[in-house]
């Protein structure tokens, strides 16, 4: 992890958590991000991937598993980093996940209901954002990315307006 200043001296630290799923695996990756004036610093913190069940799950349910994994990874980071995080933001390319999290009226199967309940226990629906598949950051769990690539201005995540 690299920041020019000590993390304990940083005032505005955000934790950004990305989740994704495919037929092969579900994954989540976390980054710390801070912005001072026009300078944005980011750092990879932790990533985790799990093999997807071999059968019986649709992509939306796998995306929900990825969202659950994202909340678990975020909790682990916050519990162990010992730095005050001002804002936690979650990103998914699963619109169905956002529908589950924002739904107040419909009842779900136990499988879905239990996962949604756990996700909402540690996060709020307004913390979750849709990130288009074509524009999302390449997850560390899918491809090795150098620190230079992460810090390059080509990456929308480093845009101060992100």
- Taken in order of first residue, the domains within the chain and their CATH numbers are 11-138 (3.30.420.10)
pLDDT in the model for residue 55:
83
Which residue carries 């993390």 as its tokens?
7
**What span, in angstroms and rounded, lies between the C-alpha atoms of 137 and 159?**
13
Q: Which of 24-38, 73-87, 135-149 is predicted least confidently?
A: 135-149
pLDDT band with cut points at 50, 70 and 90 for residue 138: very low
Q: In 10 A of CB 140, how many CB atoms?
A: 19
Question: pLDDT tens-digit profile of 93-124?
Answer: 999 999 999 998 888 888 899 999 999 999 99
| CB 111 within 8 Å of CB 62 | no
Question: pLDDT tens-digit profile of 40-87?
Answer: 888 899 999 999 988 878 999 999 999 999 999 999 999 998 888 999
Q: Which long-range contacts (CB under 8 A, 24 or more apart) does 4-13 make?
A: 4/41, 7/32, 7/81, 7/83, 8/83, 10/34, 10/83, 11/86, 12/36, 12/86, 13/83, 13/84, 13/85, 13/86
pTM: predicted TM-score of the whole model, two decimal places:
0.80
Q: Following DSSP, what letter does each residue of 99-140 receive, concatenated? A: HHHH-SS----HHHHHHHHHHHHH--GGGEEE--TTTSPPPT
Q: Report the DSSP pairing between strands 87-92 and 13-21.
A: parallel
**What span, in angstroms and rounded, lies between the C-alpha atoms of 150 and 140?**
10
């Amino acid at each position: 992890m690299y920041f020019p200043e000590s993390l304990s001296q940083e005032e505005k630290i955000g934790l950004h958590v990305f989740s994704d799923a495919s037929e092969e695996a579900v994954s989540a990756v976390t980054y710390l991000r801070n912005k001072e004036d026009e300078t944005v610093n980011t750092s990879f913190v932790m990533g985790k991937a799990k093999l997807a069940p071999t059968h019986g799950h649709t992509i939306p349910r796998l995306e929900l598993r990825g969202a659950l994994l994202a909340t678990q990874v975020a909790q682990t980071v916050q519990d162990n980093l010992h730095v005050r995080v001002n804002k936690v933001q979650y990103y998914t390319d699963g619109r169905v996940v956002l529908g589950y999290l924002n739904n107040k009226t419909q009842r779900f199967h136990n499988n879905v209901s239990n996962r949604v309940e756990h996700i909402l226990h540690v996060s709020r629906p307004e913390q979750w954002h849709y990130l288009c598949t074509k524009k999302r950051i390449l997850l560390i769990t899918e491809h090795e990315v150098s620190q230079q690539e992460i810090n390059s201005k080509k990456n929308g995540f480093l845009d101060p307006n992100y």
